[in-house]
Amino acid sequence: MKPGLVCTDFDGTLTTEDPTAPLAPGFFDWLQGVRQKNNVSWVVATGRSWEGLREALLHHQAPVFPDWIVTVEREIHRVEGKEARSVEKWNRTCNEVHEALFGRHGAILERIEKEVGCHEDVTVIPDVGAIGLVVESSDGIAHAEKMVREILKDRPEILTVRNGPYFRFAHADYHKGSCLGHVQSLLDLGPETTFVAGDNLNDLSMLTRRCGHYLACPSNSHEEVLAQVKREGGYLARAPGGIGIAEALHYFFQ
């Protein structure tokens, strides 16, 4: 079996804690090797903006740029050369949906800002049309998570997107999983030829068999990610970051 689509998160999945380490050499070797015979598209699905991702790819001297990117966990762009071209129809609707959502729930966001943001470990930041939270300690994260869940308990349309210390708010229909689904529909590819890898809570929406039949996570993954990938029949790599992802690709696609 050959993959048609490889979708990876970026931070913690291709990168490791060490900013000076080369970026996932085994991953790029695998991708460039398989592309000599097969057409394989690479999607990066990240919480970063395009500018942030581009800077990181350049900083790490990535030998290849992705073909598609999902930025801020909900916008889709096609990459041509080293430039991103917005998938206009998706992004326009995404924008309208979020403007309406944050307009309807302004009071709820204010409550989060006031009641969760007053905690000493929590910093409230402006974040793609709304507010986001950055929480310092693991105790602070657990506390903020509990409070946010309580405030949003009757608002199923608001999704809390968690990634390490970051809390972002989004419409429940927009996440890495639905964005990957849209890229698959544009490429006319299904889960049976899709590989997906991620390490953190914001990757859970795409680490499902509905999105890809080849799922993987590096050894440094969040415990909920490890548990879900295992449950979904995916591969738990022994190595961290991009080394682990190369290990998973070799496991699935000899």
Name the token pair of 239.
Answer: 């190595």
Token code pair at residue 147 = 């409070």
Query: 153, 159 in Cβ contact below 8 A?
Result: no
Rounded least distance, CB 9 to Mg ion, Å: 4
By beta-carbon proximity to Mg ion, the closer residue of 13 and 194 is 13
Q: Minimal distance in Å, beta carbon 159 to Mg ion?
A: 17
Q: Does 41 bind Mg ion (CB under 5 A)?
A: no
Which secondary-structure segment (H or E) carries 195?
Answer: strand 194-197
Could you tell me the smallest distance in angstroms from the CB atom of residue 99 to Mg ion? 27
Are 9 and 44 spatial neighbours (Cβ–Cβ below 8 Å)?
Answer: yes
CB of 107 to Mg ion, least distance (A): 32
Give the binding-site size for Mg ion (rule: CB under 5 A): 5
Q: How does DSSP classify residue 221?
A: -
Q: Which is nearer to Mg ion, 75 or 199 (CB)?
A: 199
Report phi then psi at 8, rounded to 5: -125, 145
Q: Which of 41, 193, 200, 220 binds Mg ion (CB under 5 A)?
A: 200
x/- letters, 1..30, toward Mg ion (CB under 5 A): --------x-xx------------------
Alpha carbon distance 191, 184 (integer Å): 8
Question: Which residue among 73, 75, 127, 199 contacts Mg ion (CB under 5 A)?
Answer: 199
Nearer to Mg ion by C-beta: 15 or 193?
15
Helix, strand, coil % over all residues of the chain, rounded to 5: 40, 20, 40
Task: Count Cβ atoms below 10 Å from residue 78 Cβ, excluding itself.
Answer: 16
Residues forming contacts to Mg ion in the complex (CB under 5 A) are: 9, 11-12, 199-200
